[in-house]
Structure 1
Amino acid sequence: MNAPQPLTSPSASAVGAQLRQLRRQASLSQLDLALITGISQRHLSYIETGRARPSPSTLHALLMALEAPLEHCNSVFLAAGYAPRYGCAPLASPSLAAVRDAIGHVLHANNPAPAIALDSQWQVLAANASTAALFGLLELPVNALEGLNLLVTLLQTGGLGDQLLNAEEIRTVAWQRASREALANPDLARLLAELPAPACPPPMADESAPLVMTRIASAEGELSFLSTFTTFGMPLDITVAALRIEHLIPADAQTWRIMTQAHERSLKPCS
């Protein structure tokens, strides 16, 4: 087979440079990426150096293998001269009705443990009844959930971060996670730049726990939670790809008892 003819298209060079950067960020060699995608290493080399323009299907295969954010994928497709591949429908859109139903189901199923749905800016989109019950235990108004940004309230003085017994540890974890996400999210990067960086965390104990616990001082005693996330598999929409649900799973019997009782009280009608 004859080698592809050299191209002088600026778009091919721009796409190749972006793909090469993504590959290096993923710590993959050209051979690694070629094996994952089924594209020959020689052809991949031509693409990265701008001597070949990838077809839409080849570009899609490379971007999926590199786990590039969908918004970044759209910019690469545009640079290659193709139409953007992924939409960005508002969460309230009729086309995302099934997604909203799924979020509601997962949040409800997590009771009596708190759970919240977040967007790519850490904005709280929805929360379950146990989250409201937790706010009650912290003597915070339930309407404080409306318009709440989890990253802001953790990092800023006067927010939920002040309620944490291991505030600096949790703030450091949140800062590090948001910093990684901000590399591909300019809006989040701007928000992060406006927030105070956490102080250095205390030194770790010799026998540390396998997971970082979220420890909260409440009106009924200390609460301890494990944090896990739910995301949507194989998203084809930027809004859906950015969604995640954070579950705060009680880490001990006392926390389960307190949260179960608080959730049950929240369900009783006011007399």
Structure 2
Amino acid sequence: MNNLTFPRINTPTTAGPQLRLLRRQAGMSQLELALIKGISQRHLSCIETGRAKPGPGTLHNLLMALEVPLEQCNSLFLASGYAPRYETTPLSSPAMEAVREAISHVLHANNPAPAIVLGSHWQVLDANASTAALFSLVGLPADAARDLNLLTTLLQPGGLGDYLINPEEIRTLAWQRATREALSNPVLASLMQTLSAPDTLAALPRELPPLVLTRIACAHGELNFMSTFTTFGMPLDITVTSMRIEHLIPADAQTWQIMTAAYERSRG
């Protein structure tokens, strides 16, 4: 366990001053924001000082331009006297059918490379067949991804982190990313309180590679993967905006060959 704390940032309770703070945090002037959203700088100034109340459409447009997380957007709507605008729809809901189909398509298209769907506190929501094949290659049950939390299994002994050739690099990068996300995610912050921070990385080499690879040892040889993420564009639901798909793209010919063979074996 660690004694990591996530300080709360004192923010104004009324909508106008909150908007002003968010605009400044985004490094945007009143004129720049007003031009982007097609309103006058004078009107935006009146909104920020509380002399004018933005309509729900104007408030939505301003928040989208500032790329404010949807959970925080709801608090701005409440502060303006409106009902929360953005819902948290269960992924299993009929309304999310198109989202589920899109996720399924992306996961399938990534084969024979592994891909996993992560929720807002790093829980694995889904994975493709190649993820199961990868688990089998390192001696784990093919269904080990079910009910798995990626952050926990990377950091705790006995998890996936033990199979990494470069565990210090991957654990440190995962911890740093999760720490940033936890500043606005109380559930993730609580989870991180139960985990131990990784040791500090050793000195950097003189020549840095283009990106850090996820390096995994298996009986067939070393596997090297590049990590990329897919997110949904223009989400208007908190569930959708919190999801991301991590793709582990083989970084060399040997890894492609091993993963392709493992994927074909998994298909019978």
Query: What is the TM-score normalised by the length of structure 2?
Result: 0.91
Q: Tell me which residue corresponds to 2:63.
A: 63
Residue deviations 1:146-174 (CA, integer Å, cap 9, x gap): 10001111122221112111111111211
CA–CA separation in structure 2 for the residues paired with 1:239 and 1:117: 12
CA–CA separation in structure 2 for the residues paired with 1:210 and 1:138: 26
Q: How does 1:242-261 map to 2 (within 5 A)?
A: 242-261=242-261
Residue deviations 1:38-64 (CA, integer Å, cap 9, x gap): 232232222222222211111111100
- Distance verdict in 2 for CA 1:13–1:171, change over 3 Å: closer
CA–CA separation in structure 2 for the residues paired with 1:102 and 1:220: 33
**1:13: Cα distance to partner?**
6.0
Is 1:96 matched with 2:73? Answer: no
Q: Residue 112 of structure 2 contacts residue 260 of structure 2 at CA under 8 Å; is this kept in 1? A: yes
CA–CA separation in structure 2 for the residues paired with 1:165 and 1:256: 18
- Distance verdict in 2 for CA 1:174–1:13, change over 3 Å: closer
Q: Residue 166 of structure 1 contacts residue 215 of structure 1 at CA under 8 Å; is this kept in 2? A: yes
CA–CA separation in structure 2 for the residues paired with 1:218 and 1:137: 6
**1:109: Cα distance to partner?**
0.8
Q: Residue 13 of structure 2 contacts residue 79 of structure 2 at CA under 8 Å; is this kept in 1? A: no
**1:105: Cα distance to partner?**
1.0
Q: Residue 230 of structure 1 contacts residue 245 of structure 1 at CA under 8 Å; is this kept in 2? A: yes
Query: What is the TM-score normalised by the length of structure 1?
Result: 0.90
CA–CA separation in structure 1 for the residues paired with 2:107 and 2:146: 16
- Give the residue type in structure 1 aligned to 2:261: Q
Q: What is the total number of aligned residue pairs between the two structures? A: 257
Q: Tell me which residue corresponds to 1:5.
A: none
Q: Tell me which residue corresponds to 2:75.
A: 75
Equivalent position SS for 1:84:
coil
Q: Tell me which residue corresponds to 1:32.
A: 32
- Distance verdict in 2 for CA 1:81–1:105, change over 3 Å: same
Task: Structure 1: give runs of 5+ residues left out of the alignment.
Answer: 1-11
Q: Residue 70 of structure 1 contacts residue 237 of structure 1 at CA under 8 Å; is this kept in 2? A: yes
CA–CA separation in structure 2 for the residues paired with 1:164 and 1:194: 22
